[in-house]
Copies of this chain bind each other. A is one copy, B any other.
Amino acid sequence: MKYIAGVDIGGTNTKIGLVNNGKLEIKKSIKTLSEDGVIKTMNRIWEAIRELLTEKNIKLEELVGVGMGIPGPVKNEEIVGFFANFPWEKNLNISEIFENISGKKTKVNNDVNVIALGEAVYGAGKGSKSSVTIAIGTGIGGGIFVNGKIISGFSGAGGEIGHLKIVKDGKFCGCGQKGCFEAYASATGIEREAISRLMINKKNMLYDKIDGHLEKIEAKDVFDCAKLGDKFSIDIVDYEAEYLAMGIGNILNIINPEKIILGGGVALAGDILLKRIKNRLGEYAMPVTLEKGFEIVLSTLGNDAGVLGAAALVSQNKA
């Protein structure tokens, strides 16, 4: 049997799994502890992989390679330009470092690109020739799968959909620029808009739900109140859906994928949001991109997308 190890490195935890023919056979989570430095972290990951092999009675020779998702831009599936949260050097060749430790072929890509690859190959995009996965959470990340590959980009920043500018001189974004898609349509974007409106309108279910503590608001509160019929919250969901339709419409006009896959915390709002996006998409996407066969769907792999996608970095490259 042939196995691939998939590794999804996060700021706090690192998920590790063994994948055989697209099936996640066993998985575990360890602390990333990036403050120990890159070499220690990589050794700890390799140790965890070997433990999983032992546990499943798999010989070391049966492990054909290792795929990794990492928060940061990744070039040539090897070099990480910089690490979003870790105190590690710039331009580290993580692939080489891990190959030296493990003796196994190692491919690396950006964590969101890896999730998109997982959804494209094993999840909601399975069977589609092209898909764009949009992860809507604190920020908005994306990954573009087309012609059998992820668009990683010249400097590893392919698919940075959250920083698409959709409003000229618009709201400030955490990236330091203005008018970004994620400044409007991420969970944070919803919360900013809700707080701005609550400052001048306190007679609504949402204000009561958070007991007037504006700093406590979460995007989920807005969706929950909207689902209960609160007009104030429904208006914010409308606002959110409008900008999501604009951003997604732009992706459709540029990439024209077979599927748009929505993931992340905001996507959990489900139909109340999805229906509104679909209703508005025709104002932003060219009609030809919405032709029969196109679908906008929710992600299906959940927390396993990163590990499965990381494994796919190895299996896809062999194809």
Contact = CB atoms under 8 A, between A and B. Distances in A.
B288 A155 contact: yes
Interface string A141-177: 0101011010111111111110111111000000101
Grouping DSSP codes into helix (H, G, I), strand (E, B) and loop, the A interface class, with mixed when no group exceeds half, is loop
Contacts of A288: 73, 81, 155-157
A129 B147 CA distance: 15
A93 interface: no
B149 A147 contact: yes
A167 B168 contact: yes
Contact of A246 (B165, B257, B284): B165
A258 to B, nearest CB: 4
Interface string A103-143: 00000000000000000000000000110000000000010
Given A175-B286, A177-B283, A253 B164 contact: yes
Interface of A: 73, 81, 129-130, 142, 144, 146-147, 149, 151-161, 163-168, 175, 177-178, 242, 246, 249-251, 253-258, 283-284, 286, 288-289, 291, 293-294
